[in-house]
A = this chain, B = another copy of it.
Amino acid sequence: MSASEEALHLTATDLRMATFRLARRLRCARAADSMSDAQLAVLATLRMHGRRTISALAEHERVTAPSMTSTVDGLEKQGFVARTPDEEDRRRVQVDITEAGTEIVVETIRRRDELLADMLRELDYTEVELETLRAASELMRRVTDR
């Protein structure tokens, strides 16, 4: 294995472990205990990309349509999303996030960012170390976006 191939694999291992541990830790922070990861993921998608059909949501979250129907049922019962029949294609149902749903997403994001900021603050990271984390975040973003 070449030197750069070895660096690639060592980096992958380090980053994989660090990523899973940090995600696990941050996932505990949420705005409502009743909100599951699956529901939160749908709300975050709707907030970012606007109204979506059940099929589009299912594809984006990589679950089946019946599974997404169930998740949207739960969100609708809690008043976090609203279904609207599509007038152009009446097989379709458009799903919109409500104000209450938006609040939940915003508050959950705020709590997670606050938790992470607290953890970073406690470690007294220097400006250079924070810049390293931000540069790495951008490199990680390019990995998932590619």
In the complex, the answer to whether A133 meets B15 with C-beta atoms within 8 Å is: yes
Segment among A64-72, A74-82, A110-118 that sits at the interface with chain B: A110-118
Most chain B CB neighbours (cut-off 10 Å) among A9, A133, A138, A146: A133
Shortest distance from the beta carbon of A59 to any chain B beta carbon, whole Å: 14
> Could you tell me the dominant secondary structure of chain A's interface residues?
helix
Task: Please pick, from B12, B132, B141, B143, the residue contacting A132 in the complex, using a CB distance under 8 A.
Answer: B132
For residue A15, which residues in chain B have a CB less than 8 angstroms away from its CB?
22, 116, 133-134, 136-137
A24: chain B residues at CB < 8 Å are 144
Taking the complex as formed, is A92 at the interface, i.e. its CB lies under 8 A from any CB of chain B? no
* Cα–Cα distance between A7 and B124 once the two chains are bound (Å): 12
Please measure, in the bound complex, the distance between the C-alpha atom of A51 and the C-alpha atom of B12, giving whole angstroms.
Answer: 28
Residue A106 at the B interface, CB < 8 A? no
Interface residues of A in 17-41 (CB under 8 A from B): 17-26, 28
Choose from B28, B123, B136 the contact partner of A135 (Cβ within 8 Å). B136
| Other 11 A-B pairs with CB < 8 A, given A11-B134, A16-B109 | A8-B120, A13-B113, A15-B134, A15-B137, A16-B26, A18-B138, A18-B144, A22-B144, A116-B143, A123-B143, A135-B136
